[in-house]
Structure formats: structure tokens, C-alpha cells
Structure 1
């Protein structure tokens, strides 16, 4: 048996690959077993580069701010298999998903109970494998997945198996079952979760432990352990959903046999293709619309699943960008999953509906839509202003679609168009913004366009919390702190301003809670610097109309803009990627460059123009302000000012009490309406297409 497990150079790499592919948990951290020479105390600790370094190591590891975990790689796995160390892995990954389910039996009647559960799994054709644990007085029953699956769902599945297998009801000192891995539904505050010891550790193998047992040979260890690992069958998330459904109905005998395949050959759903029904061609596929789309898994096939996976499982560009720049990626998921399952149904973002409809029509698959979204009793709205023809075209397209995005450059009346939809939608409406300044701006616009008194407009944000009978404006920051359950059923129309912000986690959490019949996003640009605009389309829908300034008659465009590029003699002396902060610091303090900026500002000021100077640093605002001195009447708008003072500064700028405003882009940026502005200075570098368009 030891010969079969020997790692010779010829096949070492392949065997380690098979091992890591099966026993896959977090790879950015792992634990090592230790025994204290002084006290004899035993345990596992995460392997850290800074362990026991004076003035740096602050045990326990969970509370240490200097921890730098060692990643798990082939080197450490080989040391485990050769018996140099004993490794424990953390099953729950950073996205709260796992690649296996393991039942731990280590007390009382552990052997008998583990066999009971194994035989139950065999009776329903579920591939499960029993390993004698390191101590020899316990066992792990392993079930492997062909894809990573939500830890919460895996735990629900595990407890259902225990219940139906007759294990969950066993109690007392003689009970053999101890726990399930994963042992938590999700990770908390940077925690690691419980670990499980890896099998096939050389020293334990010499005692007949950490080996997989053959139920067809009196539960003696398999003679060829590697052959077992190569041929272990896996199940998919779809299979788990079907199991839960069938377990609930006690219809185990209808389950098909799971084929055993190499982990490297297994496809995502090959283990359950025979479970798919043959009635898809006869019956319409039901799609239910709420705050998400719900589609019964049992009524779909493998091809449809691969279509969903291709579009809804996204490689996270932020992860790869951080990795390329040498930044830590420990808190950044490599993959973003926009497909889930619940109660035997696929759960899919609502904005993906049109893609599904096109796919089903192309494949000639009949489908029916059941709309369970919220439509409120009709509200009466009146639009008091005349809109241009190009705005009427946008309005017409919006009203054809329940869900979608309007794209228009700044200054072309997105707000007016959105408000013009209200008399047609006739729904109790919610407008979501991301700043208090925009909240105030929308309230003013609602009064101007719709004739609704400010006292009749609901406000959630800025310390206020009132739901309007017809319309409410809210900041997403206030909504995220609110119990949305008391609001979602009262809203039939949601308008999201600057909807390219939806991919941000907090914004996304707010938007996807609402079940409103109508959902409209507004943006000047669908592009995001982090390249996650696909998430915006998934949650907000497709662009249903785009206003192109080049196609609008000249009398509606107003004054043509003139772009003037000023070249300076500043040149960074630092390495561009790794020393970015130093480059910016040098740029904002460069004397020649700042003097050039000030001369240009003074030149425009002498022509009696309203001037906005945008930078990315508060310190740069102060630097320019000091150089301007009394040459112009100006103010500074930065994040350290209170909301009240910021509003007063903006009011003075609009009323032309001041004609030069120095501001950081984060405060002025997206959505602020300054139609009187004559000259804009962009004095800070940006790679964001969104900021440039805004």
C-alpha cells in the first residue's frame, strides 16, 4: 500500500494535482499541526510568515494586524504526503463557497454511525467515500463537488442527509457524529472557519489511518488509493437541488446512478445529465419575475445551464488588476457568481430576462412569464414642461420596456425624461441617488417639472425618513441601513440615478431588493473604471435608448464645447505602477505646473466667466487657492466640509457670488447640474472614462 502512495519524481506532479483538485479549500492560507514540547498541548495554527518574530507576531492570529499567511502550494502538499507535516485546510473560500462536504465522526459509535450514513448515500446513488481519521478513532465521510457551492446550501444538504440517514436523531455519549464541514454558513469579519485535516499523511498511513476504506472489502483500506482518487465521482449544485427536492418527497429510488470520472474530466453537470426530464419539448418553461428571475431547474437541460454559466459567472477584473499590480487579493473574489439556486430554482438577476428570451426563441423552446413584481394602485402625475423631440423619442422607448437603462451625456435632460415617464407609469415611485447634493437637486427638479410641493415629496436621507404618497427620493446609503421589507411592497417604479454605480456591493444590495414592476437606470456612461459594467446590465437591464449628441439638431445642443489641452514639463521620476502615490504627490506640488494652472484661471476670470476647477486631492485645492490669493473671488469644496456648508458654497456658485470654485471630483462629479458653467479645468489625471464624460 505504501508503494502505491509513494511520490516518485515521474508522477509526483500529477498525483499532487489530483490531490489538490479534490481536497480544495482556501489556498491563500492553511494550518499546520503542532505539539508543544513543554506542555504536550496539541493543535493547529495558520502558517504565517511573521510567526514568533519579536514585536511583530501578536497571537492569536485572528486578532493580529501583522499576520501574513503562507499560501498553500505543491511544496506544502508534498511535505504532508511525505509525512514531514500534518496539514489542515479551511474549506470555506472567500466567496463563502466550498468544494466538498465532509461529515466528522470521532466519538462513541463513530464507526457504526459513519457506515450507516455511507450505506444510506449508496442507497440513493450518492458518491460518498469513508476515510479513517488521523487518530484511528474516527472517520470522515467525503462528498465532492464539480463546482464550488454556497456553504449554507451545502450545510442544509448535509443535515438533510443526516436526518434521512437516521443519524441526526442519535444523541448521548455513544453518538458518533460530531460535525459537518463546512461548519459555518459563511465567514465572519475576516475569520477562517473550522479546518479539516487532509488525508493520506505518510506517518498516519503507516498506522492504517488517513486512508480511504473499501466497503466491498470489509472496510479495509483500498489497495490503490490513487486509483480511487482519480475515479471519484462528483456532484454539481444542480444535483444538490434535486436531492433536496427528492429527499423532501421521499423519492430516492428515482435518482440515477452517478458516474465516476476523473476530476479533470468531469464537466459541471455530467454527473446529473440523466436526471434531466424529457418533458422540456412538451411543456413551456416557466419564468417567474420578482426582484429576481426564478426558473425551475428540473425543466432545463445541460445546454441551458452552460448558457447561464457563460453569462452569469464572471471573472472579476478587480482581482486580476490587483494581482497584476502586486496588491493583496485576499479580500477580493476571483469569480463573481450571479447565478444561484433556491428551492429547486435558478435564481438570476432580473436584468438578464431579455437575454434568456432571445436564447429560448432561438432554440425554439416555449416559455411563459409569470410576473409577480409589485404594481401599486394608480397615482396621478402631471408634467408641467414641454420636452424636446429627442426627449420624446427616449420617452417612447422607455415606456416600451419595464426594465432598462437610458444613456445620455450630461446636460441632455435625463432627469426630465425620467420624470416625464411618471404620468404614464402611474406608480408610487422611488428615486435612488448616491449623494445628498443629488437628493436636493432631484427634489428641486420634481417641484419644477411635476409641480409637486416639497412637503409632499418623500425623503430618505440627510437625517430624514418619510415615504411620499406619490414619490420618494432616497440615498442608497440611507436605504442600506433601513429595513427594506417595509418599503419594497409599497413601490411600483424605481429610478436609479447614476446607475453605473450599481455594481458596487452596497448599491447592488439595495437595488436587487425591490420588486417594483418598473425599473429605470440613468447614466451618462455605462463604462466603469473597474470594468464591472456587466453587473450593471444584469441588475438594471439593457440600454433601451441612447441619446447621441451628434444626431440632435444644433439649436438643441447649445454652445459647442472647446477642448484645450495644456502641456506641462512635469515628468514622473518614479516607477509608474508601484510609486503612483509619490507621482501624484509630486504632480500636485509641482511649482511650474501649478503656476500655469493659476495663470489660465486668472485669464478666464478676467473674461467674467464661471469657472470650475476639478482635482483629486484636497491638498491640491489648497495649493491652487494659496497661489490664486486675491486674484479671483473663489471658494473651496472638499470632503471635510459639513453638508450644510457644501450646500451654501454650491448656492453661492450658482448665484455667481463666487465665480471660481476649486473642488475635488468626488464631491462635484456625477450628476451635479451646473448649466451656467463657462469653463471647466481638469487638473488631475484620471483613467476613468466615466469621470471624463461626466
Structure 2
């Protein structure tokens, strides 16, 4: 009978000649020894915590993983739901039958340090595929979910190994003990997000590609960017007073006659994109005008009103942080 350790080995380990071991104080050390069922049994017991190098020596992988951390996402669970919805969305195929983009039996939802809202979503392959194809698939899912790959960490991170790098990135395997956070990994129900028994991995099988599909994926130009649709934050919140003062001091340094029009426009666009409240933005502009004795203060405050009332329709075209960088770069401030 297949054990949970055997299932982990079959589903997740593409490179079996070595693995990484998590240290109690953080980080990993590479272990120059094979990954076996015994190794993963110790992982399941919490004796050690194993990280698997994703790419094997031929740049083949067994899975795609989306890493959703509360440190980079305001709502990791909401992000997980978006990814799962894209995976399970049904589409009509050439034979007229509707099928999901990814079968649920090939997807695992993991709370990597349960009960924290830190998730891994694993898409498993029945046979190893080239990392380029796996990465293309992962980026395409993020694109369809309208998610930013700068906030959602995607594995594989490389399309292939080369002479400069003989090991790809690693990911901590499911169902182990996080040695820093002192919390266990759990597999969750794809709908309720409630924990499931560990032996659920025994009923998982990966998706497969026909030779034609696989060659088609490899023929695609490597995805380097994701075209995510821009959307404004749902809620606009005030900054803390200390944060407002930090922004005031920064803006005041560059609030010169040659730059202040552009700087205010860029700052207000940034506020709209990032969900900074109207009240905070207006207080900051007013304070900067007072500090710099800006004779056009009234016009500056009217521009705040105009932006928050009329400029949201510009969406992603709003000026923002890139304009602020240009002002700072072009300033004659020494």
C-alpha cells in the first residue's frame, strides 16, 4: 500500500539526488544525499523539514506552485480563491463538452503554516514537464486571475538550469513542520479551506499533456510579463500621522518651482492607486505648501479635489511612482 511519504516522493520530488533541510533559525542547507521515502517519513514526523529543488538536471518539473504570503498580500485567502477559480473555470472544448481548465484532482491547497493565512497552491503533473512550459502555465493563470506576479511568488522561477546555476529554487514540501514559525503544514479543502487528513494526497493525480499540447507550450515565447487589468482599491484609508509626516518631509525636499506641478500630480495619482484617503492626501499637500511657502496653495488644494472627484476614470494611465522617481532624478537638489 502506498504511504503518504511515498505519495510525496512521487508527486513532488523531481530531483532525487539531494534536498534542502530547513534550519531551526531560518534558511536551508543543501543535503548531498538522495531523497527517499524514509527521508520524507522523517519530514512528516517533524524530525526534519525538507525543501525540494524543483528542477531536475534536465530542467523538468513535477508541479507549479503559487506562494501566497500575508507579508506581501493584504488578503492571501482572497488571492487563493481567484487562482482556484481560474483553474476550475469550465470551457467548452472542440467536442462541445465543458471541462475545467485544470481538474481539481490535480490541485492541492496547502496552509504552509496552519492556521496562518499563508498558502501554497500546487498544480501537479502526471509526468515531469519542461520548466519553461510549467512557468508559462503559471504566469498565464496569474494573468487570467488579474494578479501581480510581484506579489504572488511563482515556482518555477527559472525556465531551465544552466552552467551558471546547477540548482533551481526550492520549496518546503507540504505536511511538514515550519521550524521557525513552529507550525505545521496542512492540506485544505479547495472550497471551505478547512484542514483535511494527510492521506488526501493519496487521491491526487496530476494533469497530463498530449505531445501536441506539450510542443505547443514549448513553442510559445517565454512569458516575461503579466498583463493584469488595473483596478482601484475598494477602500481608501487614511495614513497614520507619522506616515503623513514622513511623506510631507520627502515631498517638501523636491517641492521646487520647476518640479512641484509634476510632483503633486504624480503624488495624487499614486494616492488614488494605493488607496490613500482624500483627507490624508489633502492634509499632506496643505502641510507641504505651508512648509515651502507655496504661493499657489489654493490651486494645489483644488487639484486634490479635482483628482479625487474626476481623475479615477484614467485608471492605470494616472501618473504615479514612476513620475515621482523622474522628479527626484531630475532635481538639482544636492
| Residue 160 of structure 1: aligned partner | 140
The correspondence for 1:146, drawn from 116, 120, 126, is 126
Change over 3 Å in CA distance of 1:215–1:14 after alignment to 2? closer
After superposition, the C-alpha distances for 1:64-95 in whole angstroms (9 at most, x for unaligned) are xxxxx111112211110000011100010100
State the distance in 1 between where 2:206 and 2:134 align: 14
The correspondence for 1:110, drawn from 59, 70, 76, is 76
The correspondence for 2:35, drawn from 58, 72, 84, is 72
Number of residue pairs the alignment of both structures matches: 200
Alignment of 1:369-384 (within 5 A): none
Change over 3 Å in CA distance of 1:164–1:141 after alignment to 2? same
Alignment of 1:335-414 (within 5 A): 341-342=215-216
| Residue 10 of structure 2: aligned partner | 21
State the distance in 1 between where 2:52 and 2:143 align: 27
State the distance in 1 between where 2:160 and 2:218 align: 21
The correspondence for 1:30, drawn from 19, 22, 45, is 19
| Residue 92 of structure 1: aligned partner | 55
State the distance in 2 between where 1:32 and 1:197 align: 9
| Residue 198 of structure 2: aligned partner | 225
Q: CA RMSD in A?
A: 2.6
In structure 2, the residue corresponding to 1:101 is in which secondary structure? strand
**TM-score using structure 2 length:** 0.55
1:229 positional shift? 1.2
State the distance in 1 between where 2:46 and 2:183 align: 14
Alignment of 1:39-50 (within 5 A): 42-47=26-31
Change over 3 Å in CA distance of 1:23–1:344 after alignment to 2? closer
In structure 2, the residue corresponding to 1:81 is in which secondary structure? helix
State the distance in 2 between where 1:159 and 1:344 align: 14
State the distance in 2 between where 1:146 and 1:215 align: 20
Change over 3 Å in CA distance of 1:116–1:24 after alignment to 2? same
Q: Given that residues 118 and 129 in structure 1 are in contact (C-alpha distance below 8 angstroms), is that contact kept between their aligned partners in structure 2?
A: no
Alignment of 1:494-513 (within 5 A): none
Change over 3 Å in CA distance of 1:115–1:208 after alignment to 2? farther
- Structure number with the bigger relative contact order (C-alpha 8 A, sep ≥ 6) is 2
Whether 1:129 aligns to 2:108 is yes
| Residue 61 of structure 1: aligned partner | none
State the distance in 2 between where 1:92 and 1:33 align: 19
After superposition, the C-alpha distances for 1:500-542 in whole angstroms (9 at most, x for unaligned) are xxxxxxxxxxxxxxxxxxxxxxxxxxxxxxxxxxxxxxxxxxx
The correspondence for 1:193, drawn from 168, 180, 193, is 168
Q: Given that residues 133 and 199 in structure 1 are in contact (C-alpha distance below 8 angstroms), is that contact kept between their aligned partners in structure 2?
A: yes
Q: Given that residues 52 and 171 in structure 2 are in contact (C-alpha distance below 8 angstroms), is that contact kept between their aligned partners in structure 1?
A: yes
After superposition, the C-alpha distances for 1:402-439 in whole angstroms (9 at most, x for unaligned) are xxxxxxxxxxxxxxxxxxxxxxxxxxxxxxxxxxxxxx
The correspondence for 1:212, drawn from 187, 198, 218, is 187
Q: Given that residues 99 and 148 in structure 1 are in contact (C-alpha distance below 8 angstroms), is that contact kept between their aligned partners in structure 2?
A: yes
After superposition, the C-alpha distances for 1:421-466 in whole angstroms (9 at most, x for unaligned) are xxxxxxxxxxxxxxxxxxxxxxxxxxxxxxxxxxxxxxxxxxxxxx
State the distance in 2 between where 1:201 and 1:232 align: 18
State the distance in 2 between where 1:343 and 1:75 align: 36
Q: Which runs of 5 or more residues in structure 2 are unaligned? A: 91-99, 220-334
In structure 1, the residue corresponding to 2:27 is in which secondary structure? strand
State the distance in 2 between where 1:74 and 1:30 align: 13
After superposition, the C-alpha distances for 1:235-254 in whole angstroms (9 at most, x for unaligned) are 1133xx9xxxxxxxxxxxxx
Change over 3 Å in CA distance of 1:119–1:208 after alignment to 2? farther
Bigger Rg over Cα: 1
Q: Given that residues 88 and 198 in structure 1 are in contact (C-alpha distance below 8 angstroms), is that contact kept between their aligned partners in structure 2?
A: yes
1:202 positional shift? 5.2
State the distance in 2 between where 1:15 and 1:76 align: 12
Q: Given that residues 53 and 167 in structure 2 are in contact (C-alpha distance below 8 angstroms), is that contact kept between their aligned partners in structure 1?
A: yes
Q: Which runs of 5 or more residues in structure 1 are unaligned? A: 1-10, 37-41, 48-68, 242-296, 299-339, 346-694
State the distance in 2 between where 1:185 and 1:142 align: 18
1:184 positional shift? 0.4
Q: Given that residues 208 and 221 in structure 1 are in contact (C-alpha distance below 8 angstroms), is that contact kept between their aligned partners in structure 2?
A: no
In structure 2, the residue corresponding to 1:145 is in which secondary structure? strand
Runs of 4+ in 1 over 6 A off after TM superposition: none
State the distance in 1 between where 2:82 and 2:167 align: 31
After superposition, the C-alpha distances for 1:241-268 in whole angstroms (9 at most, x for unaligned) are 9xxxxxxxxxxxxxxxxxxxxxxxxxxx
Change over 3 Å in CA distance of 1:344–1:102 after alignment to 2? closer
After superposition, the C-alpha distances for 1:304-332 in whole angstroms (9 at most, x for unaligned) are xxxxxxxxxxxxxxxxxxxxxxxxxxxxx
Alignment of 1:292-307 (within 5 A): 297=212
1:203 positional shift? 7.0
In structure 2, the residue corresponding to 1:35 is in which secondary structure? coil
In structure 1, the residue corresponding to 2:56 is in which secondary structure? coil
In structure 2, the residue corresponding to 1:88 is in which secondary structure? strand
Change over 3 Å in CA distance of 1:181–1:203 after alignment to 2? closer
Change over 3 Å in CA distance of 1:84–1:94 after alignment to 2? same
Change over 3 Å in CA distance of 1:165–1:100 after alignment to 2? same
State the distance in 2 between where 1:192 and 1:343 align: 23
